[in-house]
């Protein structure tokens, strides 16, 4: 009888304030949930080490597959450690008791609002960890990791309508020890309300099988990513936020929420990377 290969255990490093009010959130909301999905989750105060605390934090973030960070109370140490994790290209899951504690330039990143309830955190974190495991598998299979940067742009308010103009930057890296598969073509995925362009030219598009998502064909700058290599896609997208002629009320602020994606078709299969956008826009550059 052939035994099924045991699933590899991934490591999630947890950064959060060392305060007793976070005890249940950590033990039951994070650690217990991670263990149920064959993930090893640890905080610094659980570990035995000889180097300095900051050096240990650096090393744990460096080796972690996932960084889980609770941004509640705007703790400066946590903010610093999250900045380091993002600079290292780590997959981060942000937590908070209230949405206001998430810094503005991270609000578009995936985050969980748990209201201080361990049960709420456990339920929501399970979904995020399953997503994270899938993203890690895709990055390992394709040898390409994808990072959706914070969108920038502006709203344009006319007499009868409001338009949004956004710029999306997507960075791709090969952190493996060998070249990536050859990239045949790529698609930017978003809702059908957006018109997407690259280098001043509207991208050809077609509707995906789900009937809602549009696949916008984008030109990829290289055929493959070498070991340690990276590439960047810059895409412009526009959409009508409100049309007074059709009865929409014209407002000064709008919230954009929804899924984005990048589909890479390679010599070793197709890989779809996803991100969730949640930003507020007004008539000033953001």
CATH (domain of 171): 2.60.40.10
Q: How many domains does the chain have?
A: 2
Are 157 and 268 part of one and the same domain? Answer: yes
pLDDT value at 9 more than 90: no
Give the phi and the psi of residue 149 in degrees, each rounded to 5.
-75, 165
Are 151 and 231 part of one and the same domain? Answer: yes
Maximum average pLDDT range among 7-11, 103-107, 173-177: 173-177
Least confident among 6-15, 99-108, 267-276: 99-108
The whole-number average pLDDT for the span 177-196 is: 94
pLDDT of residue 108: 63
Are 88 and 175 part of one and the same domain? Answer: no
Q: Which two tokens stand for residue 211?
A: 């009937």
CB of 58 closer than 8 Å to CB of 33: no
Residue 132 falls inside a structural domain: yes
Q: What is the DSSP letter of 48?
A: -
- The residue out of 142, 165, 194 marking a domain boundary is 142
| pLDDT band at residue 71 under the 50/70/90 scheme | very high
The whole-number average pLDDT for the span 259-278 is: 90
How far apart, in whole angstroms, are the C-alpha atoms of residue 109 and residue 260?
Answer: 11
Are 178 and 164 part of one and the same domain? Answer: yes
Are 56 and 118 part of one and the same domain? Answer: yes
pLDDT value at 282 more than 70: no
Q: How many CB atoms lie within 10 A of CB 14?
A: 24
What whole-number percentage of the chain has pLDDT above 90?
A: 60
Are 31 and 117 part of one and the same domain? Answer: yes
The whole-number average pLDDT for the span 262-270 is: 94
* Domain containing residue 127: 10-142
Are 275 and 162 part of one and the same domain? Answer: yes
pLDDT value at 1 more than 60: no
For residue 230, which of 175, 273, 188 has the smallest C-alpha distance?
175
pLDDT of residue 174: 93
CATH (domain of 124): 3.40.50.450
CB of 167 closer than 8 Å to CB of 199: no
pLDDT value at 272 more than 80: yes
Residue 73 falls inside a structural domain: yes
Are 157 and 106 part of one and the same domain? Answer: no
């Amino acid at each position: 009888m052939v035994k099924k290969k045991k699933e590899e255990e991934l490591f999630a490093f947890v950064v959060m304030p060392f305060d007793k009010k976070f005890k249940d959130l950590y033990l039951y909301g994070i650690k217990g949930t991670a263990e149920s999905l064959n993930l090893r989750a640890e905080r610094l105060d659980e570990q035995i080490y000889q180097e300095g605390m900051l050096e240990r934090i650096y090393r744990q973030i460096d080796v972690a597959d996932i960084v889980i960070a609770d941004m509640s109370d705007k703790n400066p140490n946590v903010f610093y450690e999250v900045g380091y994790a993002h600079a290292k290209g780590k997959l981060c899951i942000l937590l908070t008791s209230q949405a206001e504690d998430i810094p503005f330039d991270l609000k578009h990143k995936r985050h969980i609002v748990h209201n201080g309830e361990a049960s709420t955190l456990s339920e929501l974190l399970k979904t995020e960890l399953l997503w994270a495991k899938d993203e890690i598998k895709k990055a390992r299979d394709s040898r390409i990791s994808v990072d959706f940067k914070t969108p920038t742009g502006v709203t344009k308010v006319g007499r009868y309508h409001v338009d949004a103009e956004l710029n999306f930057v997507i960075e791709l890296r090969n952190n493996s020890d060998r070249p990536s598969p050859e990239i045949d073509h790529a698609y930017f995925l978003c809702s059908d309300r957006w018109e997407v362009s690259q280098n001043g030219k509207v991208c050809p598009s077609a509707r995906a099988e789900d009937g809602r998502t549009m696949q916008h064909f984008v030109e990829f700058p290289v055929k493959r990513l070498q070991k340690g290599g990276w590439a960047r896609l810059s895409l412009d997208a526009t959409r009508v936020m409100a049309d007074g002629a059709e009865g929409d009320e014209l407002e000064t602020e709008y919230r954009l929420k929804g899924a984005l994606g990048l589909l890479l078709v390679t010599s070793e299969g197709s890989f779809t990377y996803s991100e969730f956008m949640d930003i507020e826009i007004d008539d000033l550059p953001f």
